[in-house]
Structure 1
Amino acid sequence: MSEVLGSLWWLIISLGVLVTIHEFGHFWVARRCGVKVLRFSIGFGKPLWLRKGRDGTEYVIARIPLGGYVKMLDEREYEISEALAPQAFNRKPVWQRIAIVVAGPAANLILCVMLLWGMFVIGRPDFAPVVGNATGIAAEAGLRRGDTVLQIGDRQTPTWSEVHMALIPYALDHQDVAVRVRAENGAPATRELRLSRLPAKFDERRSIEVIGLSGRHELRPPVIGRIVPDSPAWGVLAEGDRVTALDGDPVGDWEDMAAAVTRLGKRGGSAMIEVARNGDRLALEIAPARMKKPDGEEYWGLGLTSAATAPPKRDAVLRYGPLDAVPAAVREGVHQTEQLFSMIGRAFTGRVSIQNTVAGPVTIGRAANAYASNGPAWYLQLLAMLSLSLGILNLLPIPILDGGHLLYYLIELVKGSPVSERVMAAGHFVGLALIASLMGLAFYNDILNNLVR
């Protein structure tokens, strides 16, 4: 399946699951409160499939799979008979209306925890939290290759993904953080990452790179691929050579070799490069030269590219037993909720780019396709985060969202009477404008992040 079709497929599946659960929350509580539900629709527009249940509710799957709704009996929309009036939504006590409105987001929050539980029970394959290379701030903190990262701040890091996710909030806030590690020799140690020294502006998507940290699984073996004609390596080295040392410095990966070449170039002159070739060990003389990258930047190089290698194998699994996974899922849900609110706060205060916080359908589809290709546990994690985001988003006090209706009903509780139709109409107009702006921003970010390359 192509990436485009895969992204479209997983976008439809993801939105279908999330919207169905959200609307089922409204539907279930509405029925328990005695409200007559006229239609339960997944998607908008003309129905592709429609069935009328014995309860009188129309169950619909519509053409446009980008949302859904539950249509309830309501006197404000059209006249109804006195016999049906007790089943009208607007006739119900305010606390029941509040319960019906809150039920949708609550269903998404419950689904988030259930999906996280499933992820933990299945087990999410990942990479071990072992440092590959440390430069810049990471090196200054004392992190070294082979260190196993055990904890960042107060968050345990059993896999490299947890290392990555734990570092991002501290990086965005330019906040120093303690990192507990186990050195390659087994000795425990605590390092302090001085993230307050990060640049004022940087690409949040590359936070861990800016810190100067990479995982062991990201190391590239120092095997030579293509050799540039008429470069220092031309006629000296051969494709498939594995570099073991340069100028007496051991070379364990491609980054080691790049650093050794730079040191040799600054020193000047030639040196011996040791390689393994067809079972033999050779020592050959070579001298770096000044070369140019495509953007014009100069560097010391030999005229080499690394050989293509197979993707690294995942060597860690994040897994809990069925019982232990319950509190773990709740803790993770609470943590992700806190992080989501923090990210919203950073976006409003300008500490993080709106470009990286509001995602549209293209971004969501691509992410869903990528996560699904990594296995069911990864997809469940993404679906859990999307469910959480949908639940929180719907609780924002924006008219036409669940949070906007909730605001009206809370005002009604305080003043003792419903909000006027005029105020509700004005709020509806404002809400539509805000949602339209948010959707426009999401599509703009999609174009900027995915289509303009």
Structure 2
Amino acid sequence: MTELLGSIWWLIVSLGLLVTFHEFGHYWVARRSGVRVLKFSVGFGKPLWSRRARNGTVFQVAAIPLGGYVKMLDEREAPVPPEQVDLAFNRQSVWKRIAIVAAGPIANLLLCVALFWAMFVIGRPDYAPVVGQAEGIAAEAGLQRGDTILAVGERETPTWSEVQLAIIPAALDRADTRLHIRTADGEATTRTLALSNLPAQIDERRAVNAAGLVPRHLLAPALVGRVAPDTAAWGVLAEGDIITAVDGRPVQAWTDIGPAVEAWGEEGGTGMVEVLRDGERLALELAPTRIQPDDGEPYWALGITSARASLPEMDAELRYGPAAALPAALAETAHQGRELFAMIGRAFTGRVEVENTVAGPVTIARAANAYAGQGAAWYLSLLAMLSLSLGILNLLPIPILDGGHLLYYLIELVKGSPVSERAMAAGQYVGLALIVGLMGLAFYNDIINNLVR
């Protein structure tokens, strides 16, 4: 229940902030273009709060927090008194109308830059980009435990999140990617990750795992949980033991134990398992036993399971000074904008599953709650991405959206006269159908990603 209420709260806060900035862009430019603004609404439906300003604009917060609008004086919507005709939106020059409509998405883009700037200045805590385990494609590239990934292609990766964000698009495009790394010995070198060898269909959310990269912070510690009765470890090892070596083979993570025990069992005989117990180092003698499962290959085992452990403390931070943060925020906005357009292209060409490209309110709410729980910088980064997405999607040339209106005005500039009312009405119906379809897809994705999976 707490997570549900938190998700609802952060969804309202996030959408309210983004919509307010978007609509304020329209409002601010409209007022300075000489257009009378009748209403500024955050949300749709019945007003929960409203106030009339001295300039005559009614500001309100409505019951349904999934959008907002600015209503301007317009002869196409209602009769306009003769003395106010010059204040009507439809009577403005095409360039003023373009400026008013474009101001909403531009406000979101400016907000995105501001939010990224604030995120960089505050500093976003994260994990160091250190490889914990390399398998498959990553192992074939020569990556090893302890390697620090300094850059993916031309993009620097000071944290593991940056590694993920850089590898995912390359994985979706099946593009072999050069990694700049510093080995555990301190040597600077490069490795080529052959992402062209990935399977035909992968979930982009698991692209890094599909490439065989496991970060150091996700490696489970070699911490003993349960010791099964009547097994090799019964009466020897105990819950809470931290295994440091198996038959002379060093152990740094739980995944090291299986191969070490397998090699030990093939060699035969008893050996020593070194553990750290209550701050004391012990060497305990035992021998693994051969297990024959009903539906698999036999294997050597000690009879222990891993204890559940929480993630370690974050050991890296993405931070810039106030001056350096501005160009970094501009560069990040431009980079994420390119990636968003590329993702839209992948969705249309079928290179990525549509359920992973269009997020509905449930997904956004859960993400907002999760990011807010990680601190202000993480929440600001999510808001920045949502603001960028809102700005760019509103510029798509779909009637009803700002981009559709801009398309009408560009046609007007070319032909020298406004688009006919009939053509605009037809466009509105098409746009409404597209938006309803997009909303349906978003809700469907919510069901698939949050309830079915």
Change (3 A) 1:167 1:230: same
Change (3 A) 1:290 1:355: farther
Match of 1:324, SS? helix
Change (3 A) 1:303 1:349: farther
Structure 2 partner of 1:282: 283
- Paired residue type of 1:316: A
| Aligned 8 A contact 1:289 1:302 in 2 | no
Structure 2 partner of 1:255: 255
**Deviates further, 221-230 or 439-448:** 221-230
Change (3 A) 1:262 1:389: farther
Match of 1:83, SS? helix
Structure 1 partner of 2:328: 328
TM-score (norm 2): 0.95
**Deviates further, 296-305 or 154-163:** 296-305
- Aligned: 1:180 with 2:180: yes
Structure 2: how far apart are the matches of 1:358 and 1:333? 20
Per-residue deviation at 1:2? 1.3
| Aligned 8 A contact 2:218 2:311 in 1 | no
- Paired residue type of 1:272: G
Change (3 A) 1:134 1:48: same
| Aligned 8 A contact 2:232 2:286 in 1 | no
Per-residue deviation at 1:240? 1.6
Structure 1: how far apart are the matches of 2:259 and 2:405? 60
Structure 1 partner of 2:84: 84
- Paired residue type of 2:158: P
Change (3 A) 1:292 1:25: farther
**Root mean square deviation, CA, Å:** 1.8
Structure 2: how far apart are the matches of 1:225 and 1:80? 76
Structure 2: how far apart are the matches of 1:235 and 1:408? 79
| Aligned 8 A contact 1:141 1:191 in 2 | yes
Structure 1: how far apart are the matches of 2:6 and 2:46? 25
Structure 2: how far apart are the matches of 1:78 and 1:123? 50
Match of 1:355, SS? helix
Structure 1: how far apart are the matches of 2:32 and 2:102? 14
- Paired residue type of 1:287: P
Structure 2: how far apart are the matches of 1:428 and 1:298? 63
| Aligned 8 A contact 1:246 1:271 in 2 | no
Change (3 A) 1:74 1:423: same
Per-residue deviation at 1:237? 2.5
Structure 2: how far apart are the matches of 1:304 and 1:355? 39
| Aligned 8 A contact 1:136 1:211 in 2 | yes
Match of 1:370, SS? helix
Listed one character per residue, the Cα deviations across residues 56-96 of structure 1 (whole Å, up to 9, x for unaligned) are 00000000011000000000011111111111000111111
Change (3 A) 1:35 1:127: same
Structure 1 partner of 2:2: 2
Structure 1 partner of 2:11: 11
Structure 2: how far apart are the matches of 1:119 and 1:47? 33
Listed one character per residue, the Cα deviations across residues 350-397 of structure 1 (whole Å, up to 9, x for unaligned) are 111111111001110111111111110111000000000000010001
- Paired residue type of 1:285: L
- Aligned: 1:46 with 2:46: yes
- Paired residue type of 2:3: E
Per-residue deviation at 1:320? 0.7
Structure 2 partner of 1:363: 363
Structure 2 partner of 1:72: 72
| Aligned 8 A contact 1:243 1:273 in 2 | no
Change (3 A) 1:35 1:225: same
Listed one character per residue, the Cα deviations across residues 265-312 of structure 1 (whole Å, up to 9, x for unaligned) are 6x375653513234241233232444769xx77674444221233431
Change (3 A) 1:371 1:268: same
**Deviates further, 139-148 or 387-396:** 139-148
| Aligned 8 A contact 1:112 1:385 in 2 | yes
Structure 2: how far apart are the matches of 1:420 and 1:325? 47
Per-residue deviation at 1:435? 0.6
- Aligned: 1:417 with 2:417: yes
Structure 2 partner of 1:123: 123
Structure 2: how far apart are the matches of 1:302 and 1:190? 39
Match of 1:388, SS? helix
Structure 2: how far apart are the matches of 1:448 and 1:232? 44
Match of 1:392, SS? helix
| Aligned 8 A contact 1:37 1:70 in 2 | yes
Listed one character per residue, the Cα deviations across residues 295-352 of structure 1 (whole Å, up to 9, x for unaligned) are x776744442212334311111111111111101000000000000011111111111
Per-residue deviation at 1:243? 1.6
Structure 1: how far apart are the matches of 2:427 and 2:263? 65
Change (3 A) 1:38 1:297: farther
Change (3 A) 1:87 1:174: same
Per-residue deviation at 1:220? 1.9
Per-residue deviation at 1:262? 4.4
Listed one character per residue, the Cα deviations across residues 127-159 of structure 1 (whole Å, up to 9, x for unaligned) are 111111111111111111111111110000111
| Aligned 8 A contact 1:241 1:275 in 2 | no
Structure 1: how far apart are the matches of 2:140 and 2:432? 50
Structure 2 partner of 1:402: 402
Per-residue deviation at 1:30? 0.5
Structure 2 partner of 1:219: 219
Structure 1: how far apart are the matches of 2:340 and 2:227? 47
Per-residue deviation at 1:219? 2.0
Structure 2 partner of 1:304: 304
| Aligned 8 A contact 2:359 2:445 in 1 | yes
Listed one character per residue, the Cα deviations across residues 26-46 of structure 1 (whole Å, up to 9, x for unaligned) are 000001111110000000000
Structure 1: how far apart are the matches of 2:389 and 2:296? 42
| Aligned 8 A contact 1:261 1:288 in 2 | no
1:22-41 matches, cutoff 5 A:
22-41=22-41
Change (3 A) 1:404 1:285: same
Structure 1: how far apart are the matches of 2:416 and 2:298? 73
Structure 2: how far apart are the matches of 1:273 and 1:372? 47
Structure 2 partner of 1:450: 450
Structure 2 partner of 1:438: 438
Change (3 A) 1:425 1:186: same
| Aligned 8 A contact 1:101 1:406 in 2 | yes
Unaligned runs of 5+ in 1: none
| Aligned 8 A contact 1:270 1:288 in 2 | no
Percent identical residues: 64
Structure 2: how far apart are the matches of 1:298 and 1:372? 46
